[in-house]
Amino acid sequence: MKRVITCISCPKGCRLEIEADGKAFVSVSGNKCPRGAEYARRETEAPLRVLTTCVLTRGLDIKMLPVRTSGPIPLERLAEAAAAVRRLTVTTPVKAGAVVAADLLGLGVDLVACRRAGKP
């Protein structure tokens, strides 16, 4: 199976043509450096994404707190992680960068606030 993606490892944005056998990486063309090959392999075999979403707050000056994971997580766990975040409520003031939930789903990344939220 062949598919085309854009490498996001640097601003050049090379067009990568990936040949795969199911989830098994076979080859890539179009990459101008080895990082593109590694990106193509990872996107084929174990794609990762940073989750960015919002958490409900209660008793604070904003209703929804923008949050993101401190690092990428497996794409296949993204929906599960988003569902877990929807069950959270932040009730105490936080600074930008504060950990809202540690070790989200045991994935080894924290959920961190993207901005402050304070008392109304």
Rounded CA-CA distance 77/63 in Å is 26
Using the rule CB under 6 A, give the single segment among 26-34, 62-70, 76-84, 103-111 that binds ligand SF4. 26-34
Rounded CA-CA distance 87/104 in Å is 12
Q: Contact 55/90 with Cβ under 8 angstroms?
A: yes
What is the dihedral sign for C-alpha 88, 94, 97, 103?
negative
Residue nearest ligand SF4, CB atom distance: 36
Interaction of residue 33 with ligand SF4, rule CB under 6 A: yes
Interaction of residue 9 with ligand SF4, rule CB under 6 A: yes
With vertex at residue 80, the alpha carbon angle to CA 77 and CA 84, rounded to the nearest 5 degrees, is 135
Q: Which is nearer to ligand SF4, 31 or 44 (CB)?
A: 31
Interaction of residue 15 with ligand SF4, rule CB under 6 A: no
Taking the complex as a whole, how short is the minimal distance between the CB of residue 20 and ligand SF4, in angstroms?
A: 17
Interaction of residue 74 with ligand SF4, rule CB under 6 A: no
